[in-house]
Structures are given as structure tokens and as C-alpha cells.
Amino acid sequence: MIYQYFPNLFEASLFNDAELVFSDRSMKVSRMILAGHSKYFYDLFTKDVTQTKFNIKSLKLADFKVYYEYVHSGDDFKIDGDKIVAFLQVQIELNLPDIRIKLKEWIMNKDFVIYQGIFYENSSKSELEEYHNLTKQLITTNFEALCQIKAFDSFSRDNFLKLMSKNFIKNKNKGIILDTIARWVEYDFSNRKSDWLDLVSQIDYTKVDHITLEEYVEKNENIYSMPDLMKFLFLKIRVSKDEKSVVSNVVSKNSYSKMILFGGEYSDQSVVEIDTKQNSVKIIGNLSIGKSGHFSEKIGNNVFVLGNEDSKKIEKYVLSFN
């Protein structure tokens, strides 16, 4: 703790307490302690030593109390996520040299990795650019650990989109990136769903296998309500499959004995099963929405029949195996 202005305090006669008025409430404080620690308060209190009431309307009382606790506690001060947010607000207003050093120390401390998302989210203002850029570098290093504690779910739209750039995600595990995007969207689905497709479009799908994509679609059911997103992911699933291997497997091992056809130009609601071993064809169900000029994709035990010439609506058909 640096009390660089104490030698000047007795000459300034700052012995009485002062009242600080914040944007919400006021508080009585020790002028000696604050002026000894901070040039901001030293200048404020010595400008007119007879004045006892001072306005700091740009700060809230709760944020200042965290700073005041730090001044009193010194090296015994214990940091947490809420206090970090308060300190950043105080630093914008007071710009204290030792707080600047302390914030960097906390950001880089390995024991405080869990707070790096909080630092990044709350340091986007220009006055805190130094901390924002430093934290982004550390998030790049500690990304998977931060994903495990869901550090990004509550990020604002601007901060999340800025973080999830092509350059940031190019060397990350693509499955973890997909899950992080899904959790962020689901956190506030109604307001964030429109960003889902744009976010996943930045991923290099040559590095994502079709099993990962199928599991992603299967576990994130809100995808089903978004035709454009679902079509995008289905196409990526198809491209990622090794079609030659699938055809070879069918021919050589005869592992598939049935085919199911959904809709079509002449019977757009029918679900038809073709049994290649029994040489039989039968209708096994009906679609609720007629489909023609569409495509379908099997995910788990479900088949998703997507779009047609006139509509983007998706229908999920549950397969039953006899």
C-alpha cells in the first residue's frame, strides 16, 4: 500500500472527516487516510481545507466502499469477482497508480483465472483498454478452463462477438467453440438467437467430424426452431461424412436392409419404408407438413425433414426400430 502523500498532510491540517456524495448516497470518510493514499483525494481535500462535503457523482457508494476497504485493509484485502467490477469503476474515475499495478497483478495471477472473464467483460471502456487487451491475451491461453466454469455465458453481445473472431477461434478446439456459442445463445435465447448462425459460420468445419456435429444438433434442441441454422449444420454434417466409405460399407457388408423415404412430388406427406431383403414397400407413417424438393438428415433416432419448395419449416420424425 502506497501512502506517498502522508508527509504533506499535517501541514495541510486535514484532521477532520469529510462527507463524500456519490450518485446514490453519501458517506463519512477519513480525509487523512484517503488523502495520504491518493493524489485524487489529496488535491480534492487541500483545494479548500474548510470544505467538508464533496461530490463524486460519477461513482456509486457500493463501488467506493470496496476501494475504502482496500485502503483500510492493505495487504489483507481479499479480492472477488464483484470487487473486481467495483475496482474497475473506481479506476475509471480516480486513475490511481497503485490500483493500476494491483489490477494487473490480479489479472495475471493464476489463482484468479476464474475472474478473467469478468475483467474482460467489464474493461471494454477506453479508459481500461490496457486491462481489456491484457485479459484477452490471457483468455486465449486459459480458454478451455474458462469454458468449464461457463465464464462467457453472461457476456454482452458486443464483447462476445468481439471475442469470437475468426482469428481467435482458428486454433481452438472446435467442439468447445460450438458449445460455448450454444451456451451464450441459450443464456438469453430470445435476444441472441439471431447471432447463432453468424457465429458458427466462422468455424473451419474441415476440423470438425460429423459425429461432433450430430451430437451438437441433438443436444441443442433450439436449433430445430431455426431453419437456416439447421440447414447450414446439416450441410456441414453431410460434407464431413466420408461418402465413399459409407457406400463401400453398404455394398460389402450389406449392413443396411431398409431405406425410408420422406414425402416427394406425388405423395408429399407419406413416410415409406423399403425393405431390400424382403423386397417390400409399405407406408409406415405420415408427415404433418407435406414435403417436396426438400432434404432430410438422421440425427440419433430422429430424422429431420427440412424445408421444401415453399417453406423452411422443419419436421422431426422419430424412428422406431422393430
pLDDT digit string, tens, across residues 254-264: 455 666 656 66
Indicate whether 267 pLDDT > 70: no
The pLDDT of residue 94: 85
The rounded percent of the chain whose pLDDT value lies above 70 is 70
Q: Is 266 exposed, middle or buried (0-12, 13-18, 19+ CB in 10 A)?
A: exposed
On the 0-12 / 13-18 / 19+ scale of CB atoms within 10 A, 289 is middle
pTM over 0.85: no
**Sequence-ordered strand ranges (E) for 83-240:** none
Q: What angle do CA 215, 220, 225 make, to 5 degrees?
A: 125
Would you call 121 helix, strand, or coil by DSSP? Answer: helix
- Residue 289 scores a pLDDT above 50: yes
200 contacts 216 by C-beta, under 8 angstroms = no
| 287 contacts 262 by C-beta, under 8 angstroms | yes
Among 60, 112, 118, 54, residue whose Cα is nearest residue 84: 118
All residues at 6 or more sequence positions from 219 whose CB lies less than 8 Å from its CB, including other chains: none
Q: Tell me how crowded residue 83 is: count the other CB atoms within 10 A of its CB.
A: 20
Mean predicted lDDT score pLDDT of the chain: 81
Amino acid type, 198: D
What are the residues whose beta carbons fall under 8 Å from the beta carbon of 14, sequence distance 6 or more?
Answer: 31, 32, 35, 45, 46, 49
Beta-sheet strands, E only, within 37-130: 53-55
